[in-house]
Amino acid sequence: MLSEIPTVRPSTPLLDAVDQRMSTLRDLSKDQLLVLCEELRAYLLYSVGQTGGHFGAGMGVVELTVALHHIYNTPFDRIVWDVGHQTYPHKILTGRMNQMHTMRQAGGLSGFPKRSESEYDTFGVGHSSTSISAAMGMALAARQQGIDRKVIAVIGDGAMTGGMAFEALAHAGHERPNMLVILNDNQMSIGHNKGGLATYFAKIWASKTYIAMREGSKRVLEKIKPAWELAKRTEEHMKGMVAPGTLFEELGFNYIGPLDGHDLPGLINTLQNMKDLEGPQLLHIRTMKGKGFAPAEADPVGYHAMNKIEAKPVEKESSGPTSTPLAAKPKSPPKYQDVFGQWICDMAEQDERLVAITPAMCEGSGLVEFARRFPDRYYDVAIAEQHALTLAAGLACEGLKPVVAIYSTFLQRGYDQLIHDIALQNLDVTFAIDRAGLVGQDGPTHHGAFDLSYMRCI
């Protein structure tokens, strides 16, 4: 367990070998893979300390990232990451280790997967809830082209709150492509499983014996429809009693989980067993954001990302009363979201009709204090920008004064609702649009460069 950011490059012999030749990763023993995970965590912390950036989510998927690249023949097999905050370990393992010092800088590595950057980055992301749709497209293309390719979508429990993810799940249940969806539940959104019994059954459901029995019984019972339906319902209800997988089973996925996402040997065994299964599969793993770094484990929200670690100034030894003390740092001006946060609290005190809405950006939009002081007038709708806007429209219809706090880049996702549900009906909705213009290190997926154009025409 690390308790501080390394300021000197850690020794990483196994990681260095993988950086030189990706196939090395597939030849490592399970014991060596465990050491590799330790080296990867240490190097991730060191590199983010040099550049700043997202690292909490990446620390949580170290074992998963290592297991995926160990089991699957990447980049021929496709791994599609959702959002991209968790892909720093993926970048380190796929030939970009020595470029990590350029992360989120002009001409350097992108803070998110980027197709033009590496063949291992199969889909460019930045906005959430897109991975299942993209991976399904790749899986259907492989089926149409007759290519035996494995396709995996990795999506977090936060991104799973986006409606687009459920649209893709429903369609996949109908088309039944050969694909694996890995739900990375870092316990920030989805509820906990129901104890050790769930983990025990998850291991059974992912075992080769159970899978062989299930597939064999399916071939026999499909010829007797009533018997097959009864067997299928019995299995779903049994899973539903001990694990939160009934919804996915109803959508047509074979659900396995929840499993410990930091149990590397268990992950490898499960992925190996699921690798050649037909149809849509869903593996539910539980991870800890910031795993392996004590401060981030204690405060996963605060350590979602961080600024680079500045070298501490060296104080000169005192030479008596003539020595000059170090100058105090000038006080930073307030950020936009801080000013907005104070404004909306002031306005809420004056007008009880005011309500605040955010699509999962409470901290970033400066609504923490409002949520604390006015909990009955605060709505966090999760990653559902379209719903956020139409919810605001409904509130405005009844005389309330909704304020939608949203980043410029995410307002793009609710554009139809902005036009059709709010503007055409001339409804009184206020938008607090943050991160305007070029936002710098997060790159083009997060630039607020289009809002003047797409809003002035309405």
Q: How confident is the model at residue 447 (pLDDT cuts 50, 70, 90)?
A: confident
Query: Which of 289, 291, 377, 435 is an active site residue?
Result: 289
Of 54 and 302, more confident: 54
- pLDDT winner (highest mean) among 100-109, 315-324, 342-351, 405-414: 342-351
Q: Catalytic site residue 208?
A: no
Range of weakest confidence among 199-208, 255-264, 288-297: 199-208
The whole-angstrom separation of Cα 214 and Cα 238 is: 14
Lowest mean pLDDT among 179-183, 416-420, 445-449: 445-449
Between 98 and 210, whose confidence is greater? Answer: 98
Model confidence band, residue 196 (pLDDT cutoffs 50, 70, 90): very low
Catalytic residue among 39, 63, 249, 385: 385
Give me Rg for the CA atoms of the chain: 24
Phi-psi region of 405 (alpha: psi -120 to 50; beta: other; left: phi over 0): beta
> What pTM, to 2 d.p., does this model score?
0.74
Query: Looking at residue 56, what is its pLDDT?
Result: 77
Q: Which residue has the higher pLDDT, 167 or 240?
A: 167
Query: In the predicted model, is pLDDT for residue 47 greater than 60?
Result: yes
- List 91, 239, 377, 413, catalytic entry: 413
Task: Look at residue 192 in the predicted model and tell me its pLDDT.
Answer: 41
- CA distances 163 to 77, 80, 177, Å, are 27, 18, 20
| pLDDT value of residue 194 | 39
pLDDT tier at 176, thresholds 50, 70, 90: very high
Give the mean pLDDT of 14-42.
93
Q: Is the pLDDT of residue 190 over 80?
A: no
Once rounded to an integer, what is the mean pLDDT over residues 196-208? 53
- Bigger pLDDT: 371 or 198? 371
pLDDT, mean over the chain:
83
Tokens of 186: 């870092």
Predicted local distance difference test score (pLDDT) of residue 258: 85
* pLDDT (0 to 100) of residue 277: 92
Check residue 63 and give its pLDDT: 97
| Structure confidence at residue 440 (pLDDT) | 72
Does the structure show a pLDDT above 60 at 210?
Answer: no
Q: What is the mean predicted confidence (pLDDT) over 379-399? A: 90
Would you call 289 a catalytic residue per the annotation?
Answer: yes
pLDDT (mean) for 181-191? 72
Residue 229 is predicted with a pLDDT of 65
The residue type at 418: L
pLDDT band at residue 33 under the 50/70/90 scheme: very high
Asked if residues 136 and 168 have their Cβ atoms less than 8 Å apart, the reply is yes
pLDDT at 57: 83
Closest listed residue to residue 208, CA positions, set 148, 262, 259, 256: 256
Give the model's confidence band at 235: pLDDT under 50 very low, under 70 low, under 90 confident, else very high: low
Per-residue pLDDT of 412-431, as tens digits, reads 999 999 999 999 989 999 99
Over residues 268-278, mean pLDDT: 94
Q: At 411, is the pLDDT very low, low, confident or very high (cuts 50, 70, 90)?
A: very high
Confidence band (pLDDT; 50, 70, 90) for 443? confident
